[in-house]
Amino acid sequence: MAVDSSLPSPLGPPACEKDAKALQFIEQTTRNADAVQETVLAEILSRNAETEYLRRYKLGGATDRKSFKSNLPVITYENLQPEIQRIANGDRSPILSAHPISEFLTSSGTSAGERKLMPTIQEEWDRRQSLYNLLMPVMNLCVPGLDQGKGLYFLFVKSESKTPGGLLARPVLTSYYKSEHFKTRPYDPYNVYTSPNEAILCPDSFQSMYTQMLCGLLERHQVLRLGAVFASGLLRAIHFLQLNWQQLAADIRTGTLNPKITDPELRGCMERKLKPEPELAEFVAEQCGEENWQGIITRIWPSTKYLDVIVTGAMAQYIPTLDYYSGGLPMACTMYASSECYFGLNLNPMCRPSEVSYTIMPNMAYFEFLPYEPNSVSLDPTRLVDMVDVVVGKEYELVITTYAGLYRYRVGDILRVTGFHNSAPQFHFVRRKNVLLSIDSDKTDEAELQLAVDNATKLVLEKLNASVVEYTSFADTKTIPGHYVIYWELLVKDSAESPNSESLSQCCLAMEESLNSVYRQCRVADNSIGPLEIRVVKSGTFEELMDYAISRGASINQYKVPRCVNFTPIMELLDSRVVSKHFSPSLPHWTPERRR
């Protein structure tokens, strides 16, 4: 689409010519949302007309919405498993996409305990980059002067593996940071990072974090914004500073680099930046040595105007802690994206976290919306509506059709319409379906938690003639890193043999071993989740919990034990009945290779 940057932008006066173009692009694309969607669908269907998938559904080359909607089923990842497996095993025929699958992006959503594999094509990077290119122009409308300093962002690459057929499988951001789009990005004064590429690309998470923090400290007066992808990541960085400030200050004082930084390229890069700076070292030691870390972010980085982190969805649980460390700095949630597809951006990024709405960009994919009905058992595909037809106030599940070959694919996110920007809808992210517990990028559902309890029972408790009568769970984010807490009420048949502390610790580990690979990766490789905790409660506690729910109006016939709790009075009741606490004694098993 040709963009006329000379037109005034309704979003506000752009900071520079490049921004003017980006803002005009947003205007034109959202104004013509329906036409853009029609074109996107026609492009996807025509280029992929000869794929095995589209031929199966007998579209016969049709590219219109009506044929598409009447011929193609609405699917989930599980429906696509056979096709994905064939591609992973090396079948290079055009199964889903006419363009070759360049790699798999590994989602933090799991299927049968392993990350979902999302096929992607090379060209998708241009589309994702086009969304990234809109973020700073929008931010510049809200925060002037961002070209006068830098961003301290904690960005990391994660491990990658190869499928049996030789395709790379790695998280979308790992792929992005390793791509030329990122590594050789043109200089943009509004988007300069303190972290050098060598630090971001270092696969060792300690060395990467250490050097990114060191760069942030060295350039503390230049830092205008501070961020990570998710809130949990930024808190992990603060915790890292708590653990490592003495060594960091020593490096700054002497101008010599911690010998634990062994990556040769990274060492070379850091040694060029370091020189003895005793005053700065003293300042860091003085600030970090204080017991009270309230407002530490603005004390160390006094020019910070906002935090750039996602605090919507599951990440909202971190807002109070981030407020504490930042002295209430604004938190900007800039974009909404996934491994499957990048969806849209927040056009009002300095709004309060509870008011964040993401505007879906119609050029990214073809979007449909399934009205959300929690209790419906069957899916009626005629109920799906197009982007321009969603109704303000209603909740929908997002369904996408992408250039890379996902057709009418249910992402699993529930969104509420808050309004429109021109004719593009804006959504509040309500939640991801079926997620019970989440600390970092992990997502544990009810079935996975049940399986973990069953396995711990089988492996440990049964031998002791004990069982779990009832249980519930809680994501404890007061500790850094956060951890899962499982409340157990036990039935002990032989009190002489009741499970001792060691057996209950083994139960914690057995549960962790059963949880999905994203959970275990967070525990083992990222250190972003702490050891799982079991709190044994007195016998009769769950009956009291039921009495409490009924006293608040729950129906006695329909009452079910909630498998996850976070309502303060319930937490207080449970905690007041705890008889013992147990933690996982070691790390569960995890390797980058998939189990299947």
The residues that touch ligand AMP, with contacts defined as CB under 6 A, are: 107-109, 172, 310, 312-313, 333, 336-339, 411, 413, 429, 432, 441
Minimum CB–partner distance for residue 515 and ligand AMP (Å):
16
Minimum CB–partner distance for residue 262 and ligand AMP (Å):
30
Q: Which is nearer to ligand AMP, 208 or 338 (CB)?
A: 338
Sign (positive or negative) of CA dihedral 350, 323, 432, 102: positive
CA distances from 97 to 91, 368, 435 (A): 12, 20, 30
Minimum CB–partner distance for residue 472 and ligand AMP (Å):
23
Q: Which is nearer to ligand AMP, 194 or 438 (CB)?
A: 438
Q: Which is nearer to ligand AMP, 411 or 529 (CB)?
A: 411
Q: Which is nearer to ligand AMP, 235 or 510 (CB)?
A: 235
Q: Is residue 522 a contact partner of residue 507, using CB atoms and an 8 Å limit?
A: no
CB-CB neighbours of 506 under 10 Å? 20
Give, as one character, the DSSP assignment of residue 161.
E
Q: Which is nearer to ligand AMP, 301 or 336 (CB)?
A: 336
Minimum CB–partner distance for residue 413 and ligand AMP (Å):
5
Which among 228, 229, 223, 231 is positioned nearest to 192, based on CA atoms?
223
If phi > 0 it is left, if psi is from -120 to 50 it is alpha, else beta; for residue 339 that is alpha
Minimum CB–partner distance for residue 340 and ligand AMP (Å):
7
Minimum CB–partner distance for residue 379 and ligand AMP (Å):
19
Q: Which is nearer to ligand AMP, 151 or 353 (CB)?
A: 353
For every residue of 212-224, DSSP letters joined together read: HHHHHHHTTTTEE
List all residues 6 or more positions away from 511 whose beta carbon is below 8 Å from its beta carbon.
Answer: 452, 453, 455, 456, 486, 532, 534, 584
Minimum CB–partner distance for residue 290 and ligand AMP (Å):
33
Q: Is residue 583 a contact partner of residue 508, using CB atoms and an 8 Å limit?
A: yes
- H-helix or E-strand spanning residue 166: none
Minimum CB–partner distance for residue 114 and ligand AMP (Å):
13
CA distances from 549 to 543, 544, 559, 577 (A): 10, 9, 8, 17
Q: Which is nearer to ligand AMP, 174 or 441 (CB)?
A: 441
Q: Which is nearer to ligand AMP, 312 or 359 (CB)?
A: 312
List all residues 6 or more positions away from 140 whose beta carbon is below 8 Å from its beta carbon.
Answer: 14, 15, 16, 19, 146, 190
Q: Which is nearer to ligand AMP, 355 or 572 (CB)?
A: 355
Minimum CB–partner distance for residue 334 and ligand AMP (Å):
8
Which among 307, 365, 317, 308 is positioned nearest to 337, based on CA atoms?
365
Q: Which is nearer to ligand AMP, 124 or 413 (CB)?
A: 413
Q: How far apart are CA 452 and CA 512, in angstroms?
A: 7
Give, as one character, the DSSP assignment of residue 547.
H
- Helix segments in 203-333, DSSP class H: 205-218, 231-254, 264-273, 278-289, 296-300, 319-326
Side-chain half-sphere of 566: how many Cα atoms within 13 Å?
13
Which among 224, 228, 237, 210 is positioned nearest to 151, based on CA atoms?
224
Q: How far apart are CA 577 and CA 535, in angstroms?
A: 9
Q: Is residue 430 a contact partner of residue 415, using CB atoms and an 8 Å limit?
A: yes
Minimum CB–partner distance for residue 313 and ligand AMP (Å):
3
Q: Which is nearer to ligand AMP, 172 or 201 (CB)?
A: 172
Minimum CB–partner distance for residue 204 and ligand AMP (Å):
22
